[in-house]
Structure 1
Amino acid sequence: MTAPVLAVHEVTKEYGAGDARVRALRGVSLTVDRGDYVAIMGASGSGKSTLMNILGCLDVPTSGTYLVDGTDVGALDERRLAILRNRKIGFVFQSFNLIPRMSALANVELPLAYGGVRAGERRRRALAALERVGLSERVHHEPSELSGGQQQRVAIARALVTAPALLLADEPTGNLDTDSTRDVLTILDHLSVGGRTIVLITHEDDVAEHAKRVIRLVDGRIVEDRRNAPVDGPPPRRAGVGA
């Protein structure tokens, strides 16, 4: 039986000590199966950003266990944790996090370069990823020459290029206008239809409606975990990077 992509059990996170102690997460447990599309919601201070950092292996819990694609994150040293992040998790951030003086193609190649992939293979996979997000004509443009929506599509291509087990998106439409938001959500919908496992953080109900499942946090606890009603999704696209 295939292990879930994410398995979180009784995870807590505390900051500070004594009277200054903050309990950001209070015994969070959840599993995310392969191919699921999950939106994590919550008000400011609910713990959603803390949970996102732990799911992305950017922070460690105070207690509890967390497995990514069957691997116990708590058992890894820094080197192996960095390898797992690079190979298993694709990140999409609200602020894009592109390197300013590098082309779209070079930005997308970066995770492969860190992973030791040869130049020719890096180029082939990066071009395929950019084609998948509709940017074949913008591969040599730098971020300053791209709109916000195009920059976010480059970031999605960069996240996909390693064929990760999980696509983790933190407020991916937060800095976008209505048209660009629609374009990015359409890409995520297509990826979900193609079997990609996606977890996104959002505070917007209309964004969360695209997910198959919505998890809501309040004061560091999960208070709701529901499946969205099935809707007619976009037609499957041809196989591409990581499909």
Structure 2
Amino acid sequence: MSAPVLDVRAVTKVYGDGEATVHALRGVTLRVDRGDYVAIMGRSGSGKSTLMNILGCLDVPTAGRYLLDGTDVGVLSEYQLSILRNRRIGFVFQSFNLIPRMSALANVELPLAYGGVRPADRRRRALAALELVGLSDRGGHEPDELSGGQQQRVALARALATSPSLLLADEPTGNLDTESTRDVLDILDGLSASGRTIVLITHEDEVAARAKRVLELVDGDIVEDRRQAPVEGPPPRILETGGVR
């Protein structure tokens, strides 16, 4: 049996000391298998962002172990962590985080360039990723020439270009209108149906309803972990080329 994509074992995170001590996570244990689609919900201060930062290897736990795709993150150097983030995790943020004055295609190519992929290969893979999110005709447009929904789809393409083991999305629809939210969720549905492993943070019931599994965090611990029949979107769009599926 293959290792889970995420294997979190009794992870705690403590900030400060003395009277200023904050227990952001209190012994979180979590397993996410390949192909799962998980929504993490919780009120402000519940520990969602802290957990997401640890899952994304942007922060380290105070105690406990975290294995990503079978690799114990806690024993890696900063350099090794940067390689792991680049190759195995695709990030999608609420604020898009696209680079201004760079085309959509160039934005999607960035993680491939950082990963040392040759120019011809990264162009091919970036074009395939843009096609997957329905923006093959917008590759030459800069972010300010795109709608919010289109910018988030470019961010999704950028996250997928490296064919990561895990797609991490932090409030991916938080800045979008209803129609754009539906477009992004339909793409995530298709990615899930094609076998992608997705973990997202959201406070929106509509977004969580699309996931296969919903976790609720309260005061730094998981108090509910439920499976559900997700709301179905359209049939998935799957590319046969470009290294993106």
- Is the pair's TM-score, using the shorter chain for normalization, greater than 0.5? yes
Does residue 9 (structure 1) correspond to residue 9 (structure 2)? The answer is: yes
TM-score, L = length of structure 2? 0.97
Q: Map of 1:128-207 to 2, 5 A cutoff?
A: 128-207=128-207
Aligned partners of 1:164 and 1:242 also within 8 Å: no
Alpha-carbon distance in structure 2 between the residues aligned to 1:24 and 1:67: 20
Q: Map of 1:22-171 to 2, 5 A cutoff?
A: 22-171=22-171
* Equivalent residue letter for 1:85: R
Q: Which runs of 5+ in 2 are unaligned?
A: none
Aligned partners of 2:25 and 2:47 also within 8 Å: yes
Alpha-carbon distance in structure 2 between the residues aligned to 1:101 and 1:233: 33
* Equivalent residue letter for 1:4: P
1:232 deviation in Å? 4.2
What is the CA deviation profile of residues 15-41 of structure 1, one whole-angstrom value per residue up to 9, with x for unaligned ones?
000010000000000000000000000
* Equivalent residue letter for 1:183: D
Alpha-carbon distance in structure 1 between the residues aligned to 2:114 and 2:12: 31
Q: Which runs of 5+ in 1 are unaligned?
A: none
Does residue 21 (structure 1) correspond to residue 21 (structure 2)? The answer is: yes
Alpha-carbon distance in structure 1 between the residues aligned to 2:126 and 2:162: 9
Equivalent pairs: percent with the same residue? 79
What is the CA deviation profile of residues 25-73 of structure 1, one whole-angstrom value per residue up to 9, with x for unaligned ones?
0000000000000000000000000000000000000000000000000
Alpha-carbon distance in structure 1 between the residues aligned to 2:138 and 2:182: 19
1:231 deviation in Å? 4.6
Does residue 225 (structure 1) correspond to residue 225 (structure 2)? The answer is: yes
1:233 deviation in Å? 4.6
Alpha-carbon distance in structure 1 between the residues aligned to 2:160 and 2:147: 20
SS of aligned partner of 2:49: helix
1:229 deviation in Å? 2.4
Alpha-carbon distance in structure 1 between the residues aligned to 2:167 and 2:43: 22
1:223 deviation in Å? 0.3
Structure 1: which 4+ aligned runs deviate by more than 6 Å? none
Alignment RMSD:
0.9
SS of aligned partner of 2:137: helix
- Paired residues in the alignment total 243
